[in-house]
Structure 1
Amino acid sequence: MGARTAAAVLIGRAVRVAARLRGGGSAIPGATALKVDPGFLARTISAIPDGVVAVSGSNGKSTTTNMLAAIVRAHGLKVFTNPSGGNLPQGIASALLADVSVSGRLDADIAVLEVDEGYGPRLAGLLKPRTVLLLNIQIDQLNRYHEPDRVATMLATVAASATDGLILNREDNFLVDIDERIPAREGRRVSWFGGAPALVEAAGHGVATADRFDSPSTSKERPASVEVVALDGVHATLALGDTQVVVRLPARGMHYALDAAAAAATAKSVLGDRFQPELVALALDALETVYGRGEMLEIDGEQVEIIMMKNPASLQLNLDALDATPEQVFLAVDEGTPDPSWIYDIDFSRLDHVDGITGSKAWQFAVRFGYLGMPVGEVDLDVRRAVKRFLALPPPSTGHKVMILNYELMMSIRKVLGFKELEGGGA
């Protein structure tokens, strides 16, 4: 077993170096390591003293995992986490290769791991999390998940795997009472996060959670361990019991504020008496944005905001959170969004034009904007040429350029722009 683990680590690292030189393929090193040693991931993770915190849901996983890891680190613990996007077994294994010793030992007190909802049941069996945080269930990847009820069933399995703590979104009618729909477990503590009712109601399209039609018990009061009580741009006020802290968010919007509340509530559950509310603000104020999630890039001396759209909810919430109508805006969508027909349900009123659209699904968006009577500058299926043309526009008179990209083109366009960090990577 020791020789197999050593071989898995060494071969995986060699593949990782090659992948980094190519600027892509972050999951390939982990997949290679797991072929050499199928037990590499489960065995390494099981040896972490304070166990695993699993973070899952339709949207916000990467941002919340990043926030939670930062808060726990601020309390003095050594944290292993999987960078944005590496939320399948091979992605987590790739992240391990950056830090694990050749013998398979990991110098970490706790693991905070983003978990893909589709792989959640399998990963829960591998990782055996002590704590599970479930963020939301939203309309997402209908080609893959079909209905939100199916996602709810998968996340219920993940929830049931938690031994110590289960943290749920009070504002999500699929999740608020999931603790009542899974087998009880002695010693498991259940807590909730949420937003003040006035803030949730004031959000342009609510918090975009999917509708549940089987009479959920959402009217039952669930006390929030952490609640968003004020929101001002990229700053949110969180109430943690009798204490309130103001935190900086990675970008505008109630959805980011709820991510911060989720991270704080989970840290509170995990750390118990060691939890210090003031360290939440300290950690989040210094946190770097997860790329593609409201990220601001400097390109040739000009600020360009990158907004990732993964599904209807993420696009709608990010549109709702725009400070003002962008003077210059660009869209890029490819086969990573196989059926974009849901764009006919999106409220695009925060946009008054689009300067350019690219990607294999560009014409579907152009047709939608045509029905809306919204001007479109150019449709060009050549991604590099379209990006170059948009960036060549004179700087806007107010604000900054905005690029709205689906996940796959967000990754490839960042590389075109010279930002070649790998997901699932590390030092």
Structure 2
Amino acid sequence: MAKAIIWLVRFAGRGKGSSLPGMVSLKICPGILAHLAGQVRRGVVMVTGTNGKTTTNNMIARAVREAGYRVVVNTEGANLITGVTTAFLKAASPVGRVDCDYALLEVDEASFPRISQQVCPRVVVVTNFFRDQLDRYGELDKTISLIEDALAGLPGTRLVLNADDPLVARLGAITGREVTFYGLGEHSGVSSHSTAAREGRFCPGCGRELEYAYYHYSQLGSYRCPGCGFSRPAAGVEGSHAFSSGGTTGCLLAYPGGSRELVIPVPGLYNLYNGLAAFTAALTLGLDPDRIIHALGGYTPATGRMERYRYRGRPVLLNLVKNPTGFNEGLHTLLTLPGPVDVLIAINDNAADGRDISWLWDVDFEMLGEQHHRVNQVFCTGQRGAEMAVRLKYAGFPLAKIHVQEKMHRAVRDVLAGNGSIAYLLTTYTALWPVERILRSCARRDGLENLPSVS
């Protein structure tokens, strides 16, 4: 049944069939995920957290594949139980046999408890915790408690945790599981203060306000609690001397037994964290460090994760944004691009995006208002394009540079036709796929060698 649905969805051009087959199969046979996952020979790796799941998981998958192993992976980012089940169904034979060494699964935070019970992961990677879709997840404390409780019920699971996020790092002590921490040391881009909304402002143990030696972004940095002494743990895998150049991001990487230079072909400090997480997870699986470095250096971004295109000789970047922290980092990247930049912001409020768009007021669009000379024009589209334009107005962005276009295909073509040095498209989740289809119809996917330099 699942195989037939996958074929029909693709034949009808209605998508990639990344969720519906799993939904139908689970209705027919509720235990199908546990049955299929039980056939994985060497173990399951699960990646969860607020931001970076898709990129981190796909980076791990590339490293594991290049090491010669067969994998199951939900590449498209369908991370609910229906999408995870579909990933196994696609890999299975018509009689339900799965021939793979590892399953590498990106998993939604709210779905983590249910999925982890059925697949029994060997390794769990937690990237970060930020406020995201309050109307769906509730407050961040609720999301973290779901992960905590689920991890406590997974004996034998090893954790790979972000040492720089106090909300993530604490999971090691709470769960009592074996942990490998990864993190980023101090570098020239750190700040002595943070203006962004910090979910981890207070100690997750005693509630005292944390003290920071420096910040990378949001609550990520070097922290210590003056009350109970909780502090950033020593990272087993740590990056130093971080740099960005020519559309790449990298650092000097220290790990047990050696050090290497890590360079990944995507800009943005947050992507460097994804690379660190992927390297640590692959190292935990016993892969050769040199092979991992090589694999990450050839990583190709997934749809909307700083995906590169070229339109009539001009570079185009497509980036998914879904919460204040991720949007802020996307804007920081925008301001490092050679200007002026033509920008499109597509905001939808479907269930998968979050119905409540008040989170846009927590995004630091004021940085665009202050540096509007670097932006040629902004096209606002999607179901809530008009509200996005209002937000930009209150951020002090010049009204003459703001354009509201209800028709998404027109908005995409307008930003591509701009005369800036680069076009930068930022979209919420359900707006990503239509924007990507429009881009594919008129622009070509680009290679790293053609990406403009990032300062």
TM range (shorter): 0.7 to 0.9
Deviation at residue 195 of structure 1 after TM alignment = 0.6
The residue type equivalent to 1:386 in the other structure is A
Deviation at residue 20 of structure 1 after TM alignment = 1.3
1:341 aligns with one of 336, 358, 363: 358
Please say which of residues 226-235 and 347-356 is displaced more in the overlay.
347-356
> What CA distance in whole angstroms lies between the structure 2 residues aligned with 1:139 and 1:296?
28
Distance of aligned partners of 1:206 and 1:261 in 2 relative to their CA distance in 1, 3 Å threshold: farther
Distance of aligned partners of 1:162 and 1:384 in 2 relative to their CA distance in 1, 3 Å threshold: farther
CA contact (8 A) 2:164 2:232 kept: no
CA contact (8 A) 2:172 2:178 kept: no
> What CA distance in whole angstroms lies between the structure 1 residues aligned with 2:111 and 2:311?
36
The residue type equivalent to 2:58 in the other structure is N
> What CA distance in whole angstroms lies between the structure 1 residues aligned with 2:173 and 2:236?
18
The residue type equivalent to 1:59 in the other structure is N
The residue type equivalent to 1:23 in the other structure is R
1:113 aligns with one of 94, 105, 109: 105
2:179 aligns with one of 190, 199, 206: 190
Match in the other structure for 1:255: 270
CA shift digits 1:316-345 (9 cap, x unpaired):
112123323542111110112422222223
Supply the RMSD in Å over aligned alpha carbons.
Answer: 2.4
SS at structure 1 position matched to 2:62: helix
> What CA distance in whole angstroms lies between the structure 1 residues aligned with 2:305 and 2:170?
29
Query: Does 2:145 match 1:175?
Result: no
Match in the other structure for 2:409: 384
SS at structure 1 position matched to 2:240: strand
Distance of aligned partners of 1:210 and 1:221 in 2 relative to their CA distance in 1, 3 Å threshold: closer
CA contact (8 A) 1:19 1:26 kept: no
CA contact (8 A) 1:58 1:117 kept: yes
The residue type equivalent to 2:432 in the other structure is M
TM-score computed with the length of structure 2 as normaliser: 0.82
1:243 aligns with one of 246, 254, 258: 258
Deviation at residue 391 of structure 1 after TM alignment = 2.1
Deviation at residue 179 of structure 1 after TM alignment = 2.1
SS at structure 2 position matched to 1:23: coil
Deviation at residue 315 of structure 1 after TM alignment = 0.4
Match in the other structure for 1:12: 2
Match in the other structure for 2:93: 101
Structure 2 segments unaligned to the other structure (5+ residues) = 207-223, 225-229, 443-455
Match in the other structure for 2:190: 201
Query: Does 2:242 match 1:231?
Result: yes
Deviation at residue 53 of structure 1 after TM alignment = 0.9
SS at structure 1 position matched to 2:182: strand
The residue type equivalent to 2:415 in the other structure is F
Identity of aligned residues (%): 30
Query: Does 2:378 match 1:355?
Result: yes
The residue type equivalent to 1:409 in the other structure is A
Query: Does 2:434 match 1:412?
Result: yes
CA contact (8 A) 1:174 1:216 kept: no
The residue type equivalent to 2:22 in the other structure is G
Match in the other structure for 1:309: 321
> What CA distance in whole angstroms lies between the structure 2 residues aligned with 1:200 and 1:75?
34
CA contact (8 A) 2:169 2:232 kept: no
1:266 aligns with one of 281, 284, 287: 281
Query: Does 2:178 match 1:163?
Result: no
Deviation at residue 372 of structure 1 after TM alignment = 2.4
Query: Does 2:40 match 1:23?
Result: no
> What CA distance in whole angstroms lies between the structure 2 residues aligned with 1:338 and 1:319?
22
Instruction: Count residues in correspondence.
Output: 400
CA contact (8 A) 2:45 2:124 kept: yes
Distance of aligned partners of 1:114 and 1:85 in 2 relative to their CA distance in 1, 3 Å threshold: same
Match in the other structure for 1:7: none
> What CA distance in whole angstroms lies between the structure 2 residues aligned with 1:159 and 1:221?
21
Query: Does 2:305 match 1:297?
Result: no
2:418 aligns with one of 393, 411, 424: 393
Please say which of residues 301-310 and 344-353 is displaced more in the overlay.
344-353
Query: Does 2:56 match 1:64?
Result: yes
Structure 1 segments unaligned to the other structure (5+ residues) = 1-10, 421-427
SS at structure 2 position matched to 1:174: helix
SS at structure 2 position matched to 1:287: coil
CA contact (8 A) 2:65 2:71 kept: yes
Q: Which has the higher contact order (CA 8 A, sep 6+)?
A: 1
The residue type equivalent to 2:345 in the other structure is L
Please say which of residues 289-298 and 205-214 is displaced more in the overlay.
205-214
The residue type equivalent to 2:428 in the other structure is N
> What CA distance in whole angstroms lies between the structure 2 residues aligned with 1:366 and 1:49?
51
CA shift digits 1:82-135 (9 cap, x unpaired):
113211111122222322112211111111111110111111111111211111
> What CA distance in whole angstroms lies between the structure 2 residues aligned with 1:16 and 1:370?
44
Deviation at residue 260 of structure 1 after TM alignment = 0.8
Deviation at residue 206 of structure 1 after TM alignment = 8.8
CA contact (8 A) 1:130 1:162 kept: no
Distance of aligned partners of 1:356 and 1:269 in 2 relative to their CA distance in 1, 3 Å threshold: same
